[in-house]
Amino acid sequence: MVNLQNDACRLVILISGRGSNMQTIVDTIVRESLPAQVCAVISNRADAAGLDWAAGRGLTTHVVPHRVFDSRQEFDAALAEVIDQYQPHYVLLAGFMRVLTPGFVERYEGRLINIHPSLLPSFPGLHTHQQALVDGVQWHGCTVHFVTAKLDHGPIVAQGIVPVLASDEPDALSARLLNVEHRMYAQVVRWLAQGRVSLDENQIVRVEGVPTRAFLPDGSLLNPSGEE
């Protein structure tokens, strides 16, 4: 568990595009006055729409363009140099479309979190909605997890589900899942800000006071007790 003491939870968010999850996280922090601060939003693409959105809300933004580096290691070193200026408690990947090197992952071990559009360990990598349709699964979903050197296989913080319809195409399935992604990632940030998330000795995630981290198709957190 990250020791927040009396500090606000410092967050750096990495994006590659519009950053819709980033937007939801920022709006949730502001609306609910959470004890968290988005110190910077960083993209590997100068044309990422999320940068303009973040700058318009007074957030610090940076671009670290991956194409100017000769190797993944050089890019990751430059990215880490920018991140470390802010001494974040957590680095949140929110549609950041770069595979990070083991050295980078190790640098932020236990502090690097990603959202992936499938029910991991099923369908790691890209084109997850197409993979789900090809395999004929009846439930699809998303996963917030700690990042490890093995791509899309880190300890699971939370998962959400949506039904797969017979008429579905990848774009429709993606759109149905997006609301669950937004609400789930925002809830995970609440837990992080409250200092409730930890990893046990078996690398299983525990969230203090939360018996389940399963999210339903409407984006609500499953209540196993059935109580209001």
pLDDT tens for each residue of 119-142:
999 999 999 999 999 999 999 999
Mean of the pLDDT values across residues 73-84? 98
User: Which of 116, 140, 145, 182 is an active site residue?
Assistant: 116
Per residue in 167-209, pLDDT (tens digit) is 999 999 999 999 999 999 999 999 999 999 999 999 999 999 9
- Please give the full DSSP string across 167-208, using - where no structure is assigned: T--HHHHHHHHHHHHHHHHHHHHHHHHTT-EEE-TTS-EEET
Model confidence band, residue 224 (pLDDT cutoffs 50, 70, 90): confident
Q: What is the mean pLDDT of residues 108-115?
A: 98
Considering the four listed CATH numbers 3.40.50.170, 3.30.43.10, 3.40.50.300, 3.40.50.620, the one that applies to the domain covering 9-215 is 3.40.50.170
3-state secondary structure 4-29: CCCCCEEEEEEECCCCHHHHHHHHHH
Taking the CA atoms of 143, 147, 153 and 155 in sequence, report the sign of the dihedral they define.
negative
The whole-number pLDDT of residue 201 equals 92
Whole-angstrom CA distances from 38 to 4, 46, 130, 181, 224 are: 15, 19, 33, 19, 32
The predicted pLDDT at position 223 comes to: 87
* Model pTM score: 0.95
Report the alpha-carbon distance of residue 204 to residue 198 in Å, rounded.
Answer: 8
Arithmetic mean of pLDDT over the chain? 96
Q: At what angle do helices 49-56 and 20-32 cross, to 10 degrees?
A: 20
- The half-sphere exposure of 153 on its side-chain side, counting CA atoms within 13 A, is 3
> Does pLDDT of 107 surpass 90?
yes
Segment 106-127 shows an average pLDDT of 97
- In the chain, the amino acid numbered 108 is Y
Q: Is the pLDDT of residue 228 over 70?
A: no
Q: Is the pLDDT score of 164 beyond 90?
A: yes
Alpha helices in the chain (DSSP H): 20-32, 49-56, 72-84, 102-107, 128-135, 170-193
- Percentage of residues in the chain having pLDDT higher than 90: 94
Averaged pLDDT, 23-38: 98
User: Does residue 116 have an active-site annotation?
Assistant: yes
